[in-house]
C-alpha cells in the first residue's frame, strides 16, 4: 500500500492545529484532539495526518474497481 503524501500541519498560537493536503485545508483540530494528534504525529506525521483527516486507503479500492458499475464500457 502506498504511503500518505502531500500533507502538512501547522500549530497556531491558540493551540489549533491546521492540517492541509496539497495546499487545501483538510482539518482543523482544537483542544484535546489537537494534543492527541500532535502526540501521534511524532512517529509518522504523514500517516497520522491521513488518518485524522479520513484521507487514507480503506483496503477496498481493488475490489471496487472490479465492480460492474466501475468498469469501463466496452
pLDDT tens by residue, 55-67: 666 555 556 666 6
Q: What is the pLDDT of residues 2-31, one digit of tens each?
A: 566 889 999 999 999 999 988 999 999 999
Question: Region 48-54: what's the mean pLDDT?
Answer: 88
Which segment, 35-39, 43-47, 69-73, is predicted with the most confidence on average? 35-39
Number of neighbouring beta carbons within 10 Å of residue 54: 9
Identify the three-state secondary structure at position 42: coil
At 42, the pLDDT band (50, 70, 90 cuts) reads very high
Phi, psi of 39 (to 5 degrees): -60, -45
- What pLDDT does residue 64 have? 60
CA pair distance 7, 27, nearest whole angstrom:
11
Amino acid at each position: 500500500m502506498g504511503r500518505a503524501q502531500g500533507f502538512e500541519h501547522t500549530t497556531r498560537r491558540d493551540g489549533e492545529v491546521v492540517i492541509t493536503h496539497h495546499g487545501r485545508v483538510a482539518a482543523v483540530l482544537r483542544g484535546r484532539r489537537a494534543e492527541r494528534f500532535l502526540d501521534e504525529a511524532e512517529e509518522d506525521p504523514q500517516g497520522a495526518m491521513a488518518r485524522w483527516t479520513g484521507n487514507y486507503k480503506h483496503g477496498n479500492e481493488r475490489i471496487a474497481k472490479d465492480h460492474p458499475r466501475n468498469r469501463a464500457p466496452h
